């Protein structure tokens, strides 16, 4: 393939997401052991610009984060892009300058690999379209982007869609696939259309366990099969809850998922306790507040100590007052981040 003069630039912003049913355990080439479903965020975004030009040197991938070179990320991204040649053959003949930045702080309990890998996947798909001239229908385009994002980081497959996205094959949802995520928003009750996620920063320290190492803990885990069947059944129940808007059932299920993830980490070999004393204090306070006020606020937690507080938009004022009076003293520098359901990735036109 001769690609003279095929220089160009593409840019995407893509959000992080918070999983309601957790993906924990994988098989084969980044395939999930159970279906998961998440809400894409609005303000926790990675913006990635990819400049492409015909290959001139052996070092084909140049990566900057926040304007600085990042050799460790660069190596991971180079390996990832090299691994995509079978799916996107144009890659073999090009060199890429990639620059990326996040709108949210590092280690804030927000999955940066989801936003970063989905933004990069979308850039690569746009570059492929520009270079080859091959047009895909919108649905096929996003499906390919989700497929590519999944190979970078499983949860990133879900960030390709705004609102809610499901990933992982299951009889409960015939459109779902192990290979890519699919949108679920069109089936959700209006209360979920502007659901709030406030991230309580219990600790901003680096994670003790990477998600790669975390998924590996499920290989030979004594509870692996029980977990996978719990996740399939929780997933099916959650689809019903998202359709009906039954918030009491939602609260119970979401907290069960979060604590199941941490229970699995605690009794893995090696074992990890990622919850901090202040995480537990906040959980206690959230549950007490819910009992006292009957406001359907609940928590979920990923592989770290920070809490995602989930609640309907109509309760926002009361919840912020609750955080300020009861939870703030448990947070590092009193910090929390207000986020909510977002509309998904956006292509940025570069001037």
Question: Which residues form the interface with ligand PMV (CB under 6 A)?
Answer: 19, 22-24, 36, 111, 113, 153-155, 211, 302-303
Between residues 154 and 312, which has the closer beta carbon with respect to ligand PMV?
A: 154
Q: How far is the CB of 112 from ligand PMV (least distance, A)?
A: 9
Pairing between β-strand 94-102 and β-strand 61-65 as defined by DSSP bridges: parallel
Between residues 39 and 251, which has the closer beta carbon with respect to ligand PMV?
A: 39
- From CA 222, how far away is CA 238, in angstroms rounded? 25
Between residues 91 and 218, which has the closer beta carbon with respect to ligand PMV?
A: 218
CA distances from 160 to 10, 39, 105, 134 (A): 16, 11, 21, 20
Would you say the C-alpha torsion 312, 317, 319, 323 has a positive or negative sign?
positive
Pairing between β-strand 164-167 and β-strand 181-183 as defined by DSSP bridges: antiparallel
Q: How far is the CB of 35 from ligand PMV (least distance, A)?
A: 10
Between residues 24 and 311, which has the closer beta carbon with respect to ligand PMV?
A: 24
Token code pair at residue 113: 């690999």
Asked whether 257 and 18 are in contact (CB, 8 A), the reply is no
Q: How far is the CB of 256 from ligand PMV (least distance, A)?
A: 15
Between residues 261 and 295, which has the closer beta carbon with respect to ligand PMV?
A: 261
Total residue count of the chain as it appears in this document: 351
Between residues 11 and 108, which has the closer beta carbon with respect to ligand PMV?
A: 108
Between residues 88 and 113, which has the closer beta carbon with respect to ligand PMV?
A: 113
Between residues 53 and 223, which has the closer beta carbon with respect to ligand PMV?
A: 223
- From CA 351, how far away is CA 338, in angstroms rounded? 30
Helices 71-82 and 112-132: crossing angle, nearest 10°?
50
Q: How far is the CB of 302 from ligand PMV (least distance, A)?
A: 4
Q: How far is the CB of 157 from ligand PMV (least distance, A)?
A: 8
Would you say the C-alpha torsion 231, 233, 236, 242 has a positive or negative sign?
negative
CA distances from 176 to 31, 142, 149, 162, 218 (A): 13, 14, 16, 16, 22
Q: How far is the CB of 72 from ligand PMV (least distance, A)?
A: 16
Alpha helices in the chain (DSSP H): 71-82, 112-132, 138-152, 211-216, 224-244, 247-266, 277-293, 316-322
Q: How far is the CB of 19 from ligand PMV (least distance, A)?
A: 3
- Is residue 270 classed exposed, middle or buried when 0-12, 13-18 and 19+ CB atoms within 10 A define those classes? exposed
Between residues 33 and 331, which has the closer beta carbon with respect to ligand PMV?
A: 33
Q: How far is the CB of 229 from ligand PMV (least distance, A)?
A: 17
Tally the C-alpha atoms within 13 A of residue 177's C-alpha that lie toward its C-beta.
12
* Secondary structure (DSSP) of 213-227: HHHHTTTT-TTHHHH
Q: How far is the CB of 111 from ligand PMV (least distance, A)?
A: 5
């Amino acid at each position: 393939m001769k690609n003279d003069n095929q220089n160009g630039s593409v840019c995407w912003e893509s959000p992080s997401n918070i999983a309601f049913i957790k993906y924990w355990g994988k098989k084969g080439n980044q395939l999930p052991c159970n279906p998961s479903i998440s809400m894409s965020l609005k303000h926790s975004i990675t913006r990635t610009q990819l400049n492409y030009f015909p290959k001139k040197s052996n070092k084909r991938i140049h990566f900057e984060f926040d304007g600085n070179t990042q050799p460790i990320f660069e190596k991971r991204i180079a390996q990832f892009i090299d691994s995509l040649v079978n799916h996107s053959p144009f890659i073999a003949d090009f060199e890429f300058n990639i620059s990326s930045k996040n709108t949210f702080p590092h280690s804030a309990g927000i999955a940066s690999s989801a936003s970063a890998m989905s933004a990069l996947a979308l850039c690569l798909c746009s570059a492929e379209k520009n270079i080859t001239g091959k047009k895909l229908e919108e649905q096929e385009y996003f499906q390919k982007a989700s497929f590519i994002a999944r190979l970078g980081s499983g949860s990133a497959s879900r960030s390709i869609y705004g609102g809610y996205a499901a990933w992982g094959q299951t009889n409960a949802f015939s459109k779902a696939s192990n290979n890519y995520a699919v949108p679920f928003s069109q089936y959700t009750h209006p209360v979920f259309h502007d659901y709030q996620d406030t991230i309580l920063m219990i600790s901003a320290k680096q994670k003790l366990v990477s998600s790669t190492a975390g998924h590996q803990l499920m290989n030979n885990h004594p509870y692996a099969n029980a977990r996978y069947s719990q996740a399939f059944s929780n997933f099916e129940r959650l689809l019903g809850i998202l359709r009906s808007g039954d918030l009491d059932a939602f609260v119970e299920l979401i907290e069960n998922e979060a604590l199941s993830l941490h229970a699995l980490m605690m009794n893995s070999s090696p074992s990890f306790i990622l919850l901090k004393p202040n995480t537990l204090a906040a959980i206690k306070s959230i549950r007490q507040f819910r009992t006292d006020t009957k406001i359907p606020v609940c928590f979920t937690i990923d592989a770290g100590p920070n809490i995602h507080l989930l609640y309907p938009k109509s309760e926002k004022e009361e919840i912020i007052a609750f955080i300020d009076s009861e939870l703030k003293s448990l947070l590092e520098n009193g910090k929390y981040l207000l986020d909510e359901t977002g509309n998904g990735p956006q292509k940025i036109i570069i001037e």
